[in-house]
């Protein structure tokens, strides 16, 4: 499997969108320290969010400034349903979603436990995705927000959308 960017388990879609909204409020370019002040956060706490937004192609970081890409600007200006579509396309090539999509598509339905086990077999993912509960929560956050798959909460199964 090729080396792909990864989503960090602690970062949610809301965090990424919040970051983009703040940068947009500063004209599409903002100093990292300014963003931290606006979000009432530490710079260190923002770094994982910035890393994910950059991996998704929504921002670039240039000399300590966070700059919206064309895609990031498009997302900020989009209606909520369109935002979901933009994020859905953005995460499709980012791990662990690229692997999860492939598994869900091939099996049509997969339990959270099976999905975690399969992700654990991918050498590139072993280090970041050790905690099954954290991975499950991350997958739920992103996959349900972007409406990529259906989720049966009673059975804890991800299902391919028809």
Predicted confidence at residue 126, as pLDDT, reads 64
pLDDT confidence tier of residue 54, bands split at 50, 70 and 90: very high
Task: Please tell me if the domain spanning 13-77 has the same topology as the one spanning 95-160.
Answer: yes
Predicted confidence at residue 64, as pLDDT, reads 85
pLDDT digits (tens, 9 = 90+) for 86-100: 999 999 888 888 888
Q: Which fold has domain 95-160?
A: Arc Repressor Mutant, subunit A (1.10.10)
* pTM for the model: 0.86
Query: For 66-75, which contacts have Cβ atoms below 8 Å and span 24 or more sequence positions?
Result: 66/19, 66/23, 66/29, 66/30, 66/31, 66/32, 66/35, 67/23, 67/28, 67/29, 68/20, 68/23, 68/24, 68/28, 68/29, 72/20, 72/23, 73/24, 73/28, 75/17, 75/20
Class of domain 13-77 as given by CATH: mainly alpha
User: If DSSP codes are grouped into helix, strand and coil, which group holds residue 158?
Assistant: strand
Give phi and psi for 123, each to the nearest 5. -50, -40
Predicted confidence at residue 56, as pLDDT, reads 93
Predicted confidence at residue 2, as pLDDT, reads 39
Contacts of 112 (CB under 8 A, 6+ apart): 132, 136, 139, 156, 157, 158
pLDDT digits (tens, 9 = 90+) for 102-161: 888 888 888 888 888 887 777 666 666 777 788 888 888 998 888 888 888 888 888 888
Contacts of 64 (CB under 8 A, 6+ apart): 31, 32, 33
- pLDDT greater at residue 6 or residue 13: 13
Q: Measured in whole angstroms, how far is the alpha carbon of residue 7 from the centre of its chain? A: 5
Give phi and psi for 69, each to the nearest 5. -80, 175
Backbone φ/ψ region at 122: left (φ over 0), alpha (ψ -120 to 50), beta: beta
Q: Give me the residue spans of the domains in the chain.
A: 13-77, 95-160
Answer yes or no: is pLDDT of 49 > 70. Answer: yes
Contacts of 81 (CB under 8 A, 6+ apart): none
Report the residue count for the chain: 162
User: If DSSP codes are grouped into helix, strand and coil, which group holds residue 117?
Assistant: helix
């Amino acid at each position: 499997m090729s080396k792909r960017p990864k989503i960090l388990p602690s970062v949610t879609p809301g965090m990424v969108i919040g970051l983009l909204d703040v940068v947009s409020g500063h004209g599409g370019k903002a100093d990292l320290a300014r963003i931290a002040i606006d979000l009432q956060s530490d710079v260190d706490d923002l770094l994982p969010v910035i890393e994910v937004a950059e991996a998704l192609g929504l921002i670039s970081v240039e000399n300590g400034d966070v700059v919206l890409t064309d895609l990031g600007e498009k997302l900020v200006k989009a209606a909520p349903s369109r935002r979901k579509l933009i994020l859905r396309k953005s995460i499709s090539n980012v791990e662990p979603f690229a692997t999860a999509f492939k598994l869900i598509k091939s099996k049509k339905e997969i339990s959270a436990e099976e999905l975690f086990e399969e992700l654990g077999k991918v050498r590139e993912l072993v280090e970041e995705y050790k905690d099954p509960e954290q991975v499950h929560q991350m997958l739920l956050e992103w996959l349900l927000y972007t409406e990529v798959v259906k989720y049966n909460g009673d059975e804890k199964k991800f299902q391919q959308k028809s």
